[in-house]
Amino acid sequence: MKKLFVGSLAWATTDDSLNAHFAQCGTVASAKVVTDRDSGRSRGFGFVEFENDAEADAAVEKLNNSELDGRQITVNEARPREDKPRDFGGDRQRSW
């Protein structure tokens, strides 16, 4: 499966509308709008996974700079997530 990053989403875009927009290019395995943990509001981006790599490539070609819910979206292949050390708000340089 190939995962695509979708940026510049409208606040009103839902998982279902994202799925429907990308389904015109093939079989969507999953479509998820990323939301803020506290407020539940969209963070303006999401991810779409296709079962077929060729369909994912076609979606990038066809849907990059297309309009969804009144906004021009960007679509490209998602990069692997980098593992970053978590900072829990403490000052690591502090000496006691």
The Cβ of residue 37 has, within 10 Å, a number of other Cβ atoms equal to: 7
Task: Catalogue all structural domains in the chain, each as residue range(s) with its CATH number.
Answer: 2-77 (3.30.70.330)
Alpha carbon distance, N-terminus to C-terminus of the chain: 50
Please tell me which residue, 86 or 93, carries the higher pLDDT value: 86
Query: Measured between alpha carbons, how far is 8 from 67 in angstroms, rounded to an integer?
Result: 10
Q: What is the pTM of this model?
A: 0.84
Query: Measured between alpha carbons, how far is 1 from 30 in angstroms, rounded to an integer?
Result: 10
pLDDT tens column, 31-89: 999 999 999 999 999 999 999 999 999 999 999 999 999 999 999 999 987 877 766 66
In this predicted structure, the answer to whether residue 91 has a pLDDT above a threshold of 60 is no
Query: Measured between alpha carbons, how far is 35 from 18 in angstroms, rounded to an integer?
Result: 14
